[in-house]
Structure 1
Amino acid sequence: MLSINNLSYYIGGRALYENASLHIKPKDKIGLVGLNGTGKSTLLKIINGDYLPSKGEIQKAKDCTIGFLNQDLLSYQSEDSILDVALEAFKETLALQDQIDVVLKQMETDYSEEIINKLAHLQERFEANEGYTIKAKAEEVLEGIGFSTGDLSRPLKTFSGGWRMRVMLAKLLLEKPSLLMLDEPTNHLDLPSIQWVENYLKTYEGAVIVVSHDQTFLDNCIEITVEVSRQSLTPYAGNYSFFKEQKVEREEIQQNAYENQQKMIKDTERFIERFRAKASKSNQVQSRVKALERMERVNEVVSDNISVNFKFKFSKQSGRDVVTLDNVSKAYGDIKILENSTARIERGDKIALIGANGKGKSTLLRIIDGSEPINGDRSEGYNVVKSFFAQHQLEALNVNNEILQEMVQAGSDKTETELRNVLGCFLFTNDDVFKKIKVLSGGEKSRVALAKTLISEANFLLLDEPTNHLDMQSVNILIQALQQYEGTFVTVSHDRHFIKGVANKIWYIEDHEIKEYLGTYEEYVFWRSQQVEKAVSSGPKKEKAPKPKPVRSNTEVTQAKNDLKKKERELEEVEGRIMALEDEKTQLEKQLADPSVFQNEEESQKVNKAYGEVKKKEEELTANWERLAEEIQGLQETVS
């Protein structure tokens, strides 16, 4: 279906690929893996035609269509509802519908056989394209990746970048290209949505190439792993776990071959050196010199697997009880998060807080931290020293500091040697520690912020999505660090590989209560599946009769109509203010990217502060918009 032949691609003087080849067959499910910077996303852009190869060629079949989900789509906006945006996947079918509407309009005055035949032909094509089911398909996919039924009519522009990316994913899945390319599709999905996409991709009729740092996701939906390493593409006929096993075996064979070859080279060089001056041995010497010149050298194995020994130091140990929540309730307007919920965190607990987005996981983390106002009681135990990691802390890094300087200013008593050892665990070695924060990628900034969290000598860690922006190697380092951590922590994450590696308890929010499973994530998944099987085997429950619609007086309906108009005006006003703030935020982002600004510390701090204020206002207005939208929906039901 598609062939990559002798591909070379250079950035400046550096080769990302050198004579790399890969053949993609219909229905192949491929995972593209490798360290950050090896060129995985670049390869997808070359296949898509966004970049031209320096050498080599991409050959594809005439009927091969490509759909590409990449992070550039985050900025896409539209006035249309998300359902209408997703339905754009069916352009041909929608065009047929438009033609049918035109013909039906003509038939109001023209009953000729020609018009009737034209309508019949259009309807036949519309039905062949399954036109009567496209709306149901779009709704199914959108709801599968986390949107509620009420969300489907909301304009795309009212959603954050992550949610807009979900809409673009839905559109691509509905288009069903013969080659679907997904660059980090799980970045903006919660756990239930990730599992839904996994199941969808397993039965996808076309070929799929996925770039992802989510190891469990790759295990569950790919059948071929292609490693990007040393400017080449190496396929393995299996999922990610199979790839790891096979890679170890290949590296053992390669290392043995390298060592044997090195011994032979040394023996040959010794022979050449010893007999170079003897005329009787000159032919043998020349023969061996030429043999060395012709020899294809075996590379020494450079392992990507890094083992870390992370030494944590506590200034004091906490008491047995770390944090206790008693009859805690939390709501945002009419949206309930918790209601009279009780929970207890004990010393040594390694808790993973899981579940769908919107259930209140990050809110609960802030409640545990004590930074979120609640109804009820929160008490903190003896000698508890907290450290909180969240994505906003990346913005709190001083962009003008060097990495080592940032670590020194974190306030720990560690020496420079100890800090360098810590940074080495997070892949910052030698002169890397002198890099300015402002030149780091998102993943590198995450590693710095995590390193700062872990040197704080806290005995209680709160970690909100710590694996976001981290590559597989960095995730494995974090897992090893937390396995060696003797304190207590609660983490919010949708990365199942990470959760499996660190958690000894699972928390989730259900029916506005904190529920706890005492065991590992794998044990929790098995227990959950047993619960579902029991529910299914117990047989269908008798459906409750629908509640009769309440009869409302004319006065109530009139009042509801007046309130509805008022709320709709308020909603429009809030929308206008959000759009104005988005424009202001865009301008500030341009300033932050301007070298003349970020190189001026005073000006940079000023713009950063303004950016933070605008972002906070935007979040408040978005929450207000959501509240108004729900109130309007309720009033519309009353009026109808």
Structure 2
Amino acid sequence: MNGENGYFCSMLSINNLSYFIGGRALYENASLHIKPKDKIGLVGLNGTGKSTLLKIINGDYQPSAGDIQKAKDCTIGFLNQDLLSYQSDESILDVALAAFKDTLRLQDEIDEVLHQMETDHSEAIINKLARLQDQFEANEGYTIKAKAEEVLEGIGFSTADLKRPLRTFSGGWRMRVMLAKLLLEKPALLMLDEPTNHLDLPSIQWVENYLRNYEGAVIVVSHDQEFLDNCVSTTVEVSNGNLTVYAGNYSFYQEEKKERMEIQQNAYENQQQMIKQTERFIERFRAKATKSNQVQSRIKALDRLERVAEVVDDNIAVNFKFKFSQKSGRDIVVLDHVSKSYGDLVILKNTSARIERGDKIALIGANGKGKSTLLRIIDGTEPIQGKREHGYNVIKSFYAQHQLEALNVDNEILDELKQEGSGKTEIELRNVLGCFLFTNDDVFKKIKVLSGGEKSRVALAKALISEANFLLLDEPTNHLDMQSVNILIQALQQYEGTFITVSHDRHFIRGVANKIWYIENNQIKEYPGTYEEYTYWKSQQEANQVTVKEPPKEKPNVKKREISQQEINLTKKELKKKEQELELLEEKISTIESRKKALEAEMADESVYADSQKLAKVNDAYAKVVAEEKSLNATWESLVETISSLQENLA
């Protein structure tokens, strides 16, 4: 039974499923029972077979063993990345309307009957028209266009877009059209493989609400943790060839899995203790004839024992050591009355903003508002009207999806990082790659054999070892699995520089941002707090239906006093003097840092820490060096502030 008439689909059962790729078992005797109206999140590490399972259910792949049983009236709709290649000269509205094929066929029959009635006025033809119109009305045929428009606009298309041919849209937007068509078809079982990859935040929230109220069953694969929390009620983990069911959303799954892992680890440790005791008994009494029966009994018991597996924790805690060759001044970038447009399309109009040292900014909002354009403006690569100033000692690193193509495909991963010129040793680079899940011989893989997610991790690693004190990150979580997203969050939490990131991943934004930027009415707006605080503030605004005054984000535009040429010359002279002082100071800081490292090496030397007198002497020297370094850094901060102020006076 199709979506136009209802869903009354019996269960779908996966029974003792096995699926082998070469000699490797992707699934082995896995089972899963899907009931009507189930909302299932399918989770697991990359490569465990989540997308493969959806394709097996859809009939694209045949299982090696076991079977899948589903009722005849259980229709399946499947959104997968293969649909990116679909092209059509039809308008996106017509492509979406194809979801109502039965109703459209009735419309064609009605049109044909009306044409016949121009010459045929018999009672039979009139009865036929009445019957077709009753069926058309029962199928809600008069509302299908409105439904299609509602869904297309809900996932981000403007009214003007609806008449444009599908082929004129990019792959990501074409994928949205295919999602709209699937949602309108309303299959009994809707399967979505990474549906949020091509959606902006407002569209993600619209789809969440739609799926929560969806009348059929849903299976969704997604790396977006908050999306799963908001639209699934059951989580199924794919791990070690099995399907493990957790009766809750993703957050419930995390807590429940933690408890199960603790129980399993305790059982493993208890069993290992019992095994060791049994093995000691066997070894001790093996040669004694009087104990032979007991020994043989214990040997057989060990052979029959079902071993408890040791717990492997997928949640990796990483420790990044960032090193900056230079500290930036207080101001990173200042935009002053900036405007940007492409022909008649206005992106920014006479807007100002400031990024200061230590800002961790998430730039959010719907696609098409100009977020990526704003990143390029901040980077200095996008021409503008107005004033753009980069601060003192700012070293930038820009990560965007197109940089994946800039990777040298013939390089090995380790060589690709070596060519970044960070000065890190091979051991340090391998440690960084280990944080991004490239371990042992993985570092010698060629870039050309990597998946999209693996290439993203390599490009992110390059950005983070670049010694940049200012990062610009455009959709850094795209193509990353949950484990990789959590690693990136940890890295950015430990990063002591400044960054601005464009992202639609709310879990990621919550983990890293201390300020929220968005573009509204061609103006850059700022909320000076976390994403949690921003969403509460926004909900209060909407609830009260009033405009809440935003916190001030820039100083009043006070007209500067005219200064004489003599004052300008004196300021330039003072600036040059301070810059020379800063150069000498940085040399001192570099020397003291080298001395500090040498003392740390001495403290780790066995001949030193084994001798209490030597160790005390080294500790005293180390304490003095640390105090001197602190003092020099404080002087450096003050000097940079002075230089920034002098530069502002000359601007």
* TM value normalised by structure 2: 0.82
Q: Would you say the 8 A contact 2:541–2:547 is kept in 1?
A: no
Match of 2:233 in 1: 223
SS in 1 for 2:349: strand
Shift of 1:106: 1.0
Match of 2:120 in 1: 110
Residue in structure 2 matching 1:338, options 327, 333, 348: 348
Distance 1:427 1:91 in 2: 47
SS in 1 for 2:15: strand
Letter in 1 for 2:242: S
Residue in structure 1 matching 2:451, options 425, 436, 441: 441
Match of 2:436 in 1: 426
Match of 2:462 in 1: 452
Match of 1:155 in 2: 165
Distance 1:43 1:146 in 2: 29
Residue in structure 2 matching 1:214, options 224, 240, 247: 224
Confirm or deny that 1:287 pairs with 2:306.
no
Letter in 2 for 1:72: D
Distance 2:503 2:27 in 1: 34
Residue in structure 1 matching 2:310, options 290, 300, 303: 300
Shift of 1:378: 0.3
For the pair shown, which has the larger CA radius of gyration, 1 or 2? Answer: 2
Q: Residues 454-469 of structure 1: matches in 2 within 5 Å? A: 454-469=464-479
Matched residues, number: 538
Q: Once the two structures are superposed, what CA deviation does each residue of 1:97-133 show, in whole Å capped at 9, x if it has no partner? A: 0000011111111111111110000000000000000
Q: Which moved more, 1:360-369 or 1:101-110?
A: 101-110
Confirm or deny that 1:470 pairs with 2:480.
yes
Confirm or deny that 1:510 pairs with 2:536.
no
Q: Percent identity?
A: 84
Distance 2:158 2:315 in 1: 41
Confirm or deny that 1:83 pairs with 2:93.
yes
Q: Once the two structures are superposed, what CA deviation does each residue of 1:491-529 show, in whole Å capped at 9, x if it has no partner? A: 000011000000000000000000000100011111111
Match of 1:200 in 2: 210
SS in 2 for 1:18: strand
Letter in 1 for 2:153: E
Match of 1:260 in 2: 270
Shift of 1:58: 0.3
Q: Once the two structures are superposed, what CA deviation does each residue of 1:577-607 show, in whole Å capped at 9, x if it has no partner? A: xxxxxxxxxxxxxxxxxxxxxxxxxxxxxxx
Letter in 2 for 1:475: V
Distance 1:6 1:266 in 2: 34
Q: Would you say the 8 A contact 2:234–2:248 is kept in 1?
A: yes
Match of 1:168 in 2: 178
Distance 1:69 1:375 in 2: 43
Letter in 1 for 2:295: V
SS in 2 for 1:325: strand
SS in 1 for 2:278: helix
Q: Would you say the 8 A contact 2:338–2:384 is kept in 1?
A: yes
Distance 1:537 1:466 in 2: 33
Letter in 1 for 2:315: N
Distance 2:85 2:168 in 1: 12
Letter in 2 for 1:392: H
Mark the CA change 1:377 to 1:160 in structure 2 (over 3 Å): closer, same or farther. same
Confirm or deny that 1:388 pairs with 2:401.
no
Match of 2:385 in 1: 375
Distance 2:169 2:391 in 1: 40
Q: Once the two structures are superposed, what CA deviation does each residue of 1:38-85 show, in whole Å capped at 9, x if it has no partner? A: 000000000000000000000001210000000000000011000000
Confirm or deny that 1:232 pairs with 2:237.
no
Distance 1:25 1:214 in 2: 24
Letter in 2 for 1:333: G
Distance 1:106 1:162 in 2: 44
Distance 1:401 1:117 in 2: 73
Q: Once the two structures are superposed, what CA deviation does each residue of 1:547-591 show, in whole Å capped at 9, x if it has no partner? A: xxxxxxxxxxxxxxxxxxxxxxxxxxxxxxxxxxxxxxxxxxxxx
Shift of 1:342: 0.3
Letter in 1 for 2:158: S
SS in 2 for 1:468: coil
Distance 2:378 2:177 in 1: 33
Q: Would you say the 8 A contact 2:18–2:64 is kept in 1?
A: yes
Match of 2:569 in 1: none
Residue in structure 2 matching 1:519, options 500, 513, 529: 529
Shift of 1:537: 12
SS in 2 for 1:498: helix
Match of 2:320 in 1: 310
Distance 1:285 1:402 in 2: 54
Distance 1:17 1:108 in 2: 63
Distance 1:536 1:507 in 2: 20
Distance 1:123 1:115 in 2: 12
Distance 1:281 1:428 in 2: 51
Confirm or deny that 1:6 pairs with 2:16.
yes
SS in 1 for 2:46: coil
Confirm or deny that 1:23 pairs with 2:12.
no
Distance 1:290 1:442 in 2: 50
Mark the CA change 1:536 to 1:321 in structure 2 (over 3 Å): closer, same or farther. closer
Shift of 1:334: 0.3
Distance 1:537 1:453 in 2: 39
Shift of 1:302: 0.5
Match of 1:580 in 2: none
Q: Once the two structures are superposed, what CA deviation does each residue of 1:297-339 show, in whole Å capped at 9, x if it has no partner? A: 0000011010000000000110111100000000000000000
Distance 2:116 2:415 in 1: 75
Shift of 1:536: 7.9
Distance 1:119 1:225 in 2: 49
Q: Once the two structures are superposed, what CA deviation does each residue of 1:613-636 show, in whole Å capped at 9, x if it has no partner? A: xxxxxxxxxxxxxxxxxxxxxxxx
Distance 1:108 1:529 in 2: 58
SS in 2 for 1:204: coil
Residue in structure 2 matching 1:417, options 412, 415, 427: 427
Distance 2:79 2:116 in 1: 41
Letter in 2 for 1:291: A
Match of 1:136 in 2: 146
SS in 2 for 1:352: strand
Match of 1:270 in 2: 280
Distance 1:233 1:375 in 2: 56
Confirm or deny that 1:349 pairs with 2:364.
no
Distance 1:358 1:204 in 2: 28
Shift of 1:282: 1.2
Residue in structure 2 matching 1:359, options 350, 362, 369: 369
SS in 2 for 1:406: helix
Distance 2:264 2:467 in 1: 42
Distance 1:45 1:190 in 2: 26
Q: Once the two structures are superposed, what CA deviation does each residue of 1:371-414 show, in whole Å capped at 9, x if it has no partner? A: 00000000011111100001110000000111110100011111
Q: Would you say the 8 A contact 2:48–2:239 is kept in 1?
A: yes
Gaps of 5+ in 1: 539-640
Distance 2:150 2:516 in 1: 29
Q: Which moved more, 1:214-223 or 1:281-290?
A: 281-290
